Amino acid sequence: MKLDAHIASHNEDVKQVVLCISEVAKKISKGFATRRGTSDTSNVYGEQQQAMDVWADELLISELRDSKLVQYLASEEQPDVLTFEGSASNIGVTIDPLDGSSLIDVNLAVGTIVGIYRGDVLSPGNEMLGAMYVLYGPLTTLTYCLRKGVHDFTMDDRGNFVLQEENILIPEGKIYAPGALRRDWLPVHRRFIGKLEAEGYKLRYSGSFVADVHQILHKGGVFTYPAYAGREQGKLRLLFEAAPMGFIVSQAGGAVSDGRSELLTIKPEAVSQRVPVYIGGKKEITLIERMHKENSE
Ligand code: AFP
């Protein structure tokens, strides 16, 4: 089954946003061959942009603006939320155009992450209408969730997204993907990782959040980019990375936390807000929250 047929029963405006982004993603997947190397620009976080970061960002912004499907757009590559006049709906989207883009030059998987809101995007993640991501790996895949299950599609040789797996539920599994330098981990986090290792969890970490979480969604376990010495807010962005991926994993029966409580209840104060992230199976997320609680008692 193709994506447009699968998504047919959803609200027209939300459905059209997912389909519009799926069309842009097809163009992005073809863009890697000709847009190599770095750009001479930095994003709002001071990170050097790749040529693909800049191009994918401009493409998503222009196609979504021209579609008149969204009113607000926040991009990880832009300092402010963009407002589009003349939009037919009040949908707001958050976009990480190419998550993991520093891995493009070594040909590892990267992805586009999108959160979809009714109105203001500076809202808690649990108010999302839905979320989706596209993973550009050996295959290009698209995963979407509009609060009725999490579904995976694979792009075929004619450029159609075809259903791969429906109503995905995160299995129990023993993979852990731990970000940040081990020497900077804070004591509770260090003990958490120690427990996983003692239980035989296997380390799998690529440096691309979207790819690492996709693996956890299908194989179980936990991804974490924690608070660490020198950066109590961690590295990942609440609006662009943690909330949409956390929403999808939660809807697949998993959970997402900042280590102390559910991450999807946090109301963002700024588009660039960072947050410590634990995302994966309920078992692992319950464990880290319990360890933090015991630590503070
Ligand atoms: P880039 O988009 O700059 O490659 O950053 C990727 C990312 O935000 C996220 O996708 C990774 O999980 C994380 O950073 C990797 O960070 P480390 O390089 O510190 O492991």
The 10s digit of each residue's pLDDT in 86-100 is: 998 999 999 999 999
CA of 207 to the centre of ligand 1 (A): 5
User: Locate tokens 């559910």: which residue?
Assistant: 262
Closest atom of ligand 1 to 237 CA is 8
C-alpha 100 to ligand 1 mean position (Å): 5
Please state the separation of Cα 64 from the chain's center in Å. 19
Q: How far is CA 138 from each of CA 168, 228, 232, rounded to the nearest angstrom?
A: 21, 33, 35
Phi/psi at 61 (5° precision): -65, -50
Q: 101: Cβ below 6 Å to ligand 1?
A: yes
Q: Does the beta carbon of 179 lie inside 6 Å of ligand 1?
A: yes
Q: Which two tokens stand for residue 163?
A: 């259903």
Contact 244 CB / ligand 1 (< 6 Å) = no
Tens of pLDDT, residue by residue over 225-279, are 999 999 999 999 999 999 999 999 999 999 999 999 999 999 999 999 999 999 9
* The pLDDT of residue 140: 98
For residue 36, the model assigns a pLDDT of 77
The reply to whether ligand 1 has any atom less than 6 angstroms from the CB of 133 is no
